[in-house]
């Protein structure tokens, strides 16, 4: 695999996780537990959607270096099937109840911030530039989701039980975040990507300390689901894409 | 988005000399165009009317998030998805500061929301129509927001300070939304035959309900605003190359206005009564979101109380 192909695939991973999570957050709009949360969830969703668009735009440019032409952000978002999506399995999990949504967000945000801090020093100046911009937004996402974990964990008996269940249920999708493959490893060595394994201790520490404060227990399970980066997804992604992609696929070639 | 005009309550005209000193001071401030602020004395009827109108407006923003939110997951491009999310978020923001304006009058948001859920408070009937295609998102921005702006501009000058200030901000954002809606329509009308048909179909379904937003013809101002809306909108439809679903619509050179056909007021009264295509769904959706969120709100409250107690103990 050429370097450009690797970078292209790497950018899709970043873009797809942002897009898929933004799409999930978009499902909440109008249905949040309180108006302020509707606004906040939409804010986070809009940030992630904006970041996805930046990654897609660069991915299209990189693709043009090895393919006949680079695809547009919309071609990448709407005309790839689930097997070509490179997002983490975690972010495609359904919204569930508010605890499920917040646990998913929390696991992701902590990782996302750690990753972007590293990518801000990427030798690829475009990756560094996007990461710097995105990290400024993700700091707030991570603060907000940690606050909710603490509130729900140390709130009522019901909220405690719900958030613990969500934290436990989603745990098996967190391993993938620290699991480098034949794309991550060379890119990390070249200083373009980052060493995913090195993120894990910091992530565990940050997650553990928030869970402690929330009076919650860090799950002990060791079996981790994998496949997102290779395009082997859970059943949920196909349904999401069916909804998201239906219009541009039905009216092929149309401008919107 | 917007609430239907609410009548201003029983405002018996009285001479200044018949009023007590407080009421006279109030009336003189209103007459002098000085804003009434929450801590000022105000007549009870004025307070009640304001609470009803502002809360109805806030409810409309919140219920209005649903028909448009219906298309966030299906927006046909990433740019349109971002614009739509931001728009629906603006509506939540409008709802929030309108509820805050109502709360300055001594009523809680929870009480207002409870009245909405119990069917005691109204919201704008326009949101009881379904959004069936992507073009509906364009038509709502173009027509519904357009009509809302026309209705709301007078409210920017309303005598109650918090409402007036809220409306100035709302109107600014609404005109932005209207342009975005028109842009969707323009893109569709310049697109394929199928896309243009989609735009025409949306216009067919949203035109008459939009005209009804100005309220029944019993008030002169309703008809004046409606005429202004028709005069403004017909040339825009011409520009788009789509036509209003009204065979009687034509330019009247003598009046200098467009003549248009009769409005089916039975339809509006039916929708107001609860028989619109989406009345039941809209309210059930709001109630469901509120009920399913109860444990989240309780948890936040319980945590805040625990934290306050700990801080007190530590002090």
CATH number for the domain spanning A224: value is: 1.20.1260.10
3-state secondary structure at position A254: coil
The residue segments making up the domain with residue A7 are 3-250
Q: Is residue A45 part of a domain?
A: yes
| Nearest residue to B185 via CA among B112, B133, B225 | B133
Residue-wise burial string across B227-242, b where 16 or more C-beta atoms lie within 10 A, e elsewhere = bebbeebbeebeebeb
* A29 near B CB under 8 A: yes
The partner residue sitting opposite B81, judged by closest CB among A49, A154, A254, is A49
A100: nearest CA in chain B? B296
The partner residue sitting opposite A256, judged by closest CB among B62, B76, B302, is B76
E strand or H helix at A117: helix A98-119
CB atoms within 10 A of CB A46: 20
Token pair of A45 as six digits: 């969703």
The partner residue sitting opposite A74, judged by closest CB among B72, B77, B190, is B77
The arithmetic mean of pLDDT across residues A56-78, rounded, is 97
Q: Is residue A256 part of a domain?
A: no
pLDDT computed for residue A177 by the predictor: 98
DSSP for chain B? ---------------GGGS-HHHHHHHHHHHTTPPB-TTS---HHHHHHHHHHHHHHHHHHHHHHHHHHTTTTT-SSHHHHHHHHHHHHHHHHHHHHHHHHHHTTT--HHHHHHHHHTT-S---GGGGS---STHHHHHIIIIIHHHHHHHHGGGGG-SBHHHHHHHHHHHHHHHHHHHHHHHHHHHHHTS-HHHHHHHHHHHHHHHHHHHHTT--TTSHHHHHHHHHHHHHHHHHHHHHT---S-TT-EEETTTTEEE-PPP-HHHHHHIIIIISTTHHHHHHHHHHHHHHTHHHHHHHHHHHHHHHHHHHHH-
| Terminal C-alpha separation, chain B | 47
Task: Label residue B17 exposed, middle or buried (CB < 10 Å: 0-12, 13-18, 19+).
Answer: exposed
A158: nearest CA in chain B? B295
CB atoms within 10 A of CB A65: 13
Token pair of A203 as six digits: 């992530």
The arithmetic mean of pLDDT across residues A84-103, rounded, is 98
* B77 near A CB under 8 A: yes
Using a CB-CB distance cutoff of 8 angstroms, which residues of chain B are in contact with residue A38?
65, 89, 92
Q: Is residue A148 part of a domain?
A: yes
Tell me the pLDDT band of B13, cut-offs 50, 70 and 90.
low
Q: CB under 8 Å to A125, separation ≥6 — which residues?
A: none
Q: Is residue A237 part of a domain?
A: yes
Q: Which of residues 116-175 of B touch A (CB under 8 A)?
A: 134
Q: CB under 8 Å to B312, separation ≥6 — which residues?
A: none
- Is B10 a residue whose pLDDT tops 50? no
B92 vs A35: CB contact, 8 Å cut-off? yes
What's the DSSP call for residue A178? G
- Is B2 a residue whose pLDDT tops 80? no
Orientation angle between helical segments A98-119 and A157-170, nearest 10 degrees = 50
Probe site for chain B from A33, A57, A59, A157 (most B CB atoms < 10 A): A33
pLDDT computed for residue B254 by the predictor: 97
ipTM: 0.97
3-state secondary structure at position A194: coil
Q: Bridge-partner residues for A108, per DSSP?
A: none
Q: Which of residues 67-86 of A touch B (CB under 8 A)?
A: 73-74, 77-78
A33 vs B92: CB contact, 8 Å cut-off? no
Token pair of A201 as six digits: 């201790």
Using a CB-CB distance cutoff of 8 angstroms, which residues of chain A are in contact with residue B66?
30
A101: nearest CA in chain B? B296
Closest Cα in chain B, distance from residue A185 (Å): 31
Token pair of A244 as six digits: 């998201």
| Nearest residue to A236 via CA among A30, A16, A24 | A24
Q: Is residue A46 part of a domain?
A: yes
What's the DSSP call for residue A71? P
**CA distance linking residue B194 with residue B299, whole number of Å:** 50
Domain count along chain A: 1
Q: How many CB pairs under 8 A join A and B?
A: 140
Beta strands in A96-243 (DSSP E): none
* B65 near A CB under 8 A: yes
**CA distance linking residue B62 with residue A35, whole number of Å:** 8
DSSP for B189-241? HTS-HHHHHHHHHHHHHHHHHHHHTT--TTSHHHHHHHHHHHHHHHHHHHHHT
**CA distance linking residue A93 with residue A101, whole number of Å:** 9
Closest Cα in chain B, distance from residue A195 (Å): 30
B292 vs A77: CB contact, 8 Å cut-off? no
Tell me the pLDDT band of B12, cut-offs 50, 70 and 90.
low
Give pLDDT tens digits for A4-44. Answer: 999 999 999 999 999 999 999 999 999 999 999 999 999 99
What's the DSSP call for residue A50? H
Residue with tokens 């299209």: A60
CB atoms within 10 A of CB A44: 21
- Is B3 a residue whose pLDDT tops 70? no
3-state secondary structure at position A185: helix
Give pLDDT tens digits for B70-129. Answer: 999 999 999 999 999 999 999 999 999 999 999 999 999 999 999 999 999 999 999 999
| Terminal C-alpha separation, chain A | 35
More confident residue, A224 or B28: A224
Probe site for chain A from B61, B77, B91 (most A CB atoms < 10 A): B77
Angle at B33 between CA B170 and CA B168, to 5 degrees: 10
The partner residue sitting opposite A32, judged by closest CB among B73, B80, B289, is B289
A73 vs B78: CB contact, 8 Å cut-off? yes
- Is B206 a residue whose pLDDT tops 70? yes
Q: Is residue A47 part of a domain?
A: yes
Q: Is residue A124 part of a domain?
A: yes
**CA distance linking residue A13 with residue B138, whole number of Å:** 32
The arithmetic mean of pLDDT across residues B255-273, rounded, is 96
Using a CB-CB distance cutoff of 8 angstroms, which residues of chain B are in contact with residue A34?
293, 296-297
The partner residue sitting opposite A23, judged by closest CB among B73, B89, B290, is B73
pLDDT computed for residue A198 by the predictor: 97
Probe site for chain B from A30, A60, A75 (most B CB atoms < 10 A): A30
The partner residue sitting opposite B297, judged by closest CB among A29, A31, A34, is A34
High-pLDDT (> 70) share of chain A, % = 100
- Is A84 a residue whose pLDDT tops 70? yes
The partner residue sitting opposite A42, judged by closest CB among B85, B184, B195, is B85
The partner residue sitting opposite A26, judged by closest CB among B73, B288, B296, is B73
| Nearest residue to A177 via CA among A107, A94, A106, A85 | A107
* A96 near B CB under 8 A: no
* A55 near B CB under 8 A: no
* A147 near B CB under 8 A: no
- Is B4 a residue whose pLDDT tops 50? no
The arithmetic mean of pLDDT across residues B279-299, rounded, is 97
Q: Is residue A255 part of a domain?
A: no
* A182 near B CB under 8 A: no
| Nearest residue to A247 via CA among B177, B33, B44, B73 | B73
């Amino acid at each position: 695999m050429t370097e450009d192909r690797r970078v292209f695939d790497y950018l899709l991973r970043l873009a797809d996780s942002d897009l898929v999570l933004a799409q999930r957050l978009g499902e909440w709009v109008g249905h949040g537990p309180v108006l302020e949360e509707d606004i906040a969830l939409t804010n986070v969703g809009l940030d992630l959607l904006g970041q996805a668009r930046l990654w897609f735009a660069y991915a299209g440019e990189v693709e043009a270096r090895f393919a006949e032409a680079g695809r547009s952000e919309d071609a990448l978002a709407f005309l790839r099937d689930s097997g070509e999506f490179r997002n983490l399995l975690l972010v495609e999990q359904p919204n569930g109840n508010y605890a499920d949504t917040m646990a998913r967000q929390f696991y992701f945000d902590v990782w996302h911030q750690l990753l972007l801090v590293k990518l801000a020093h990427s030798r690829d100046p475009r990756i560094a530039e996007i990461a710097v911009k995105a990290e400024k937004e993700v700091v707030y996402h991570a603060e907000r989701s940690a606050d909710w974990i603490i509130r729900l964990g140390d709130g009522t008996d019901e909220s405690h039980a719900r958030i613990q269940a969500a934290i436990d249920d989603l745990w098996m999708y967190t391993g993938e975040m620290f699991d480098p493959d034949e794309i991550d490893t060379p890119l990390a060595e070249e200083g373009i990507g980052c060493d995913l394994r090195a993120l894990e201790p910091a992530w565990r520490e940050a997650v553990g300390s928030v869970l402690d404060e929330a009076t919650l227990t860090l799950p002990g399970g060791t079996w981790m689901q994998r496949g997102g980066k290779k395009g082997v997804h859970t059943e949920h992604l196909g349904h999401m894409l069916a909804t998201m992609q239906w219009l541009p696929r039905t009216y092929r070639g149309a401008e919107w | 988005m917007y609430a239907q005009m609410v009548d201003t309550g029983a405002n018996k005209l009285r001479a200044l000399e018949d009023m007590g000193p407080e009421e006279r001071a109030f009336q003189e401030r209103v007459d002098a165009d000085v804003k009434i602020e929450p801590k000022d004395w105000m007549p009870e009827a004025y307070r009640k009317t304001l609470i009803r109108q502002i809360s109805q407006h806030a409810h409309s923003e919140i219920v209005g998030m649903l028909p448009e939110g219906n298309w966030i997951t299906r927006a046909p491009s990433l740019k349109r998805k971002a614009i739509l999310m931001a728009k629906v978020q603006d509506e939540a923001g409008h709802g929030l500061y309108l509820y805050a304006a109502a709360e300055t009058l001594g009523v809680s948001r929870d009480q207002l929301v409870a009245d909405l859920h119990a069917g005691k408070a109204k919201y704008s009937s326009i949101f009881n129509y379904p959004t069936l295609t992507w073009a509906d998102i364009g038509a709502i921005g173009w027509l519904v927001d357009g009509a809302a702006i026309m209705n709301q501009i007078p409210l920017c000058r309303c005598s109650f300070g918090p409402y007036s200030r809220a409306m100035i901000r709302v109107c600014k954002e609404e005109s932005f939304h209207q342009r975005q809606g028109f842009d969707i329509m323009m893109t569709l009308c310049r697109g394929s035959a199928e896309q243009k048909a989609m735009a025409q179909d949306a216009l067919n379904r949203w035109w008459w309900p939009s005209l009804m937003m100005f309220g029944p013809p019993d008030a002169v101002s309703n008809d004046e605003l409606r005429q202004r809306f028709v005069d403004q909108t017909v040339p825009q439809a011409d520009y788009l190359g789509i036509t209003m679903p009204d065979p009687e619509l034509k330019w009247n050179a003598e009046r200098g206005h467009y003549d248009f056909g009769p409005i089916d007021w039975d339809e509006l009264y039916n929708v107001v009564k609860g028989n619109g295509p989406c009345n039941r769904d809209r309210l059930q959706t709001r109630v469901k979101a509120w009920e399913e969120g109860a444990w989240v709100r309780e948890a936040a409250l319980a945590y805040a109380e625990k934290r306050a107690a700990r801080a007190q103990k530590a002090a």
